[in-house]
């Protein structure tokens, strides 16, 4: 279990660090801003989780290797994107794909990591707490990343982001509480999250939301302006 936990820790840290760095570069942050955003994205969810269960200091601060991994990944990502410029349209498409892949791996790995930490802390018979800690670990860093970069968090609007984390965490929690081997339950939940995210992107699945036609006229105009602005940035 300890080995599996470390694998998911490192995988999630790398994945979210890269996704945070990509957002930082696309928001025209300097090298310091990109590095900080990579670190916060990679460690934010885990810190929130540890604070909730009273594990102090948080693991990300107790073991600085996670901060070092996130900082290194952020710096490498910045340098690669800085010294290998591409035409705008091709770069946007490539960055979107890389962002999606690393974001998906990050949310899946950290959701599994959060559930594993809950089990390791003695909460293996509490499905609700396992799911809660898994989801907070999985989406917390991404929410902080989006808030710091002045974006509406993806957890609220895109590709069943949080829903995939919740479903995967529920699968993990139920399987473990039913007596199935912990490693099997966690790996199954990880695979389900990745699959849901891929299917959501492929078939453009999104949760229902109010269309522009149903908004007040001024709000609809502001929404259109915001979408146009986001499109021009991409």
Residues 152-163: pLDDT tens digits? 887 787 667 889
Residues 31-65: pLDDT tens digits? 999 999 999 999 999 999 999 998 888 888 888 88
Q: 155 and 139 in contact (C-beta within 8 Å)?
A: yes
**Is pLDDT of 222 > 70?**
no
Closest alpha carbon to 67 in 135, 142, 16: 16
**Is pLDDT of 145 > 80?**
yes
**Is pLDDT of 217 > 80?**
no
Report how far residue 7's alpha carbon sits from residue 90's, in angstroms, rounded to the nearest whole number: 33
Report how far residue 33's alpha carbon sits from residue 151's, in angstroms, rounded to the nearest whole number: 15
Structure tokens at 119: 């089990």
Report how far residue 33's alpha carbon sits from residue 25's, in angstroms, rounded to the nearest whole number: 9
User: Burial letters for 37-46: b for 16+ Cβ neighbours within 10 Å, e otherwise?
Assistant: bbbbbbbbbb
Domain ranges of the chain: 2-233
Half-sphere exposure of 66 (CA within 13 A, CB side): 26
Tokens 């899946």: give the residue: 108
């Amino acid at each position: 279990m300890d080995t599996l936990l470390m694998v998911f820790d490192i995988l999630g840290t790398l994945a979210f660090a890269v996704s945070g760095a990509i957002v930082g570069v696309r928001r025209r942050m300097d090298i310091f801003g990109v590095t900080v955003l990579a670190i916060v994205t990679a460690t934010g969810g885990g810190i929130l989780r540890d604070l909730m269960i009273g594990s102090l200091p948080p693991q990300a601060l107790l073991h600085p290797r996670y901060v070092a991994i996130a900082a290194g990944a952020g710096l490498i990502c910045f340098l690669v994107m800085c010294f290998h410029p591409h035409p705008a349209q091709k770069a946007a498409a490539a960055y979107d794909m890389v962002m999606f892949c690393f974001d998906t791996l990050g949310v899946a790995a950290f959701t599994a990591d959060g559930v594993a930490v809950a089990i390791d802390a003695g909460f293996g018979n509490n499905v609700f707490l396992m799911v809660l800690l898994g989801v907070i670990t999985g989406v917390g860093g991404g929410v902080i990343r989006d808030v710091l970069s002045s974006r509406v968090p993806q957890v609220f609007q895109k590709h069943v982001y949080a829903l995939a984390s919740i479903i995967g965490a529920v699968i993990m929690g139920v399987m473990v509480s039913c007596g199935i081997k912990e490693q099997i339950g966690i790996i199954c939940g990880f695979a389900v999250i990745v699959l849901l995210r891929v299917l959501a992107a492929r078939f453009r699945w999104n949760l229902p939301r109010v269309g522009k036609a149903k908004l007040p006229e001024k709000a609809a105009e502001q929404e259109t302006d915001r979408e146009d602005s986001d499109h021009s940035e991409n």
